[in-house]
Structure 1
Amino acid sequence: MTAIWIAVIGSSLTAFLNKYIGHSVPEKWLDRPRFKRINTLVPIVLLSALVGIQTFAQGNELVIDQRVAGVAVALIALKFKAPFPVVVISAAITSAGIYNLF
């Protein structure tokens, strides 16, 4: 058995145990206000981390390119409460325009 298979089996067992333990937690523990606040923020944090990684990273390097301009335009559009399709399209047009310009 190679190291890769050991890592695959180990990570699979870890994922299974995390899910099993998560379903085994008593409901009264999850009804606490602190846990509810944390659970509402987890998706926001994960999405922010994904956007940050996809915008500023390429492999193991920190990169500043046209994607930063697209995210900046999206943030400005969100600030002015633009509809989501407008935000996405304006960011895509900005990124594509700068990419083709340089």
Structure 2
Amino acid sequence: MTLWGAILLAGCIVLVLKLAGYLVPSEWVERPRPARITDLLTVALLASLVAVQALGSGQALVVDARLPAVLVAAVLLWLRQSFLVVVVAAAVVAALLRLLGWAT
């Protein structure tokens, strides 16, 4: 199977799954347990995306200026700072560390 064939197959599977979601009765989704699972699944997927983007470089794990920037952002979010403050502070930390020579 070529790459484009795999992409088309994956797209069709996603479309079928999405359409199947409309067939699920709303009573099943509105129960406390499935609602809690979907809430936690969203958080887990976002956390894994942040981890992969902050620590990954191809097939390797890399600790560079992104990791302290993510840690600063996490602390500021924990302190309930605004999102704009979090993003700017993380960018400043990463920029300063790279300026000081901590690229990789």
User: Do both share a fold (TM > 0.5)?
Assistant: yes
* Aligned-residue CA RMSD (Å): 1.4
> What pairs up with 1:2-21 in 2 under 5 angstroms?
3-21=2-20
| Distance in 1, Cα, partners of 2:44 & 2:76 | 20
Partner of 1:61: 60
- Give the percent of matched residue pairs that are identical in Structure 1 and Structure 2: 35
Closer, same or farther: CA 27–70 of 1 in aligned 2, 3 Å: same
TM-score (normalised: structure 1) = 0.88
Q: Which runs of 5+ in 2 are unaligned?
A: none
Stretch moving more, 62-71 or 25-34: 25-34
Partner of 2:75: 76
Partner of 1:98: 97
1:86 aligns with 2:85: yes
TM-score (normalised: structure 2) = 0.87
Give the C-alpha shift of residue 81 in structure 1: 2.2
Stretch moving more, 37-46 or 85-94: 37-46
| Distance in 1, Cα, partners of 2:38 & 2:60 | 31
- Give 3-state SS (helix, strand or coil) of 1:49's partner: helix
More helix by share: 1
CA-to-aligned-CA distance 1:53-86 (integer Å, 9 cap, x gap):
1100011110000001101111222232222211
- Give 3-state SS (helix, strand or coil) of 1:24's partner: coil
CA-to-aligned-CA distance 1:15-60 (integer Å, 9 cap, x gap):
1111111111111211211011112222211211111011000111
The code of the aligned residue for 1:8 comes to I
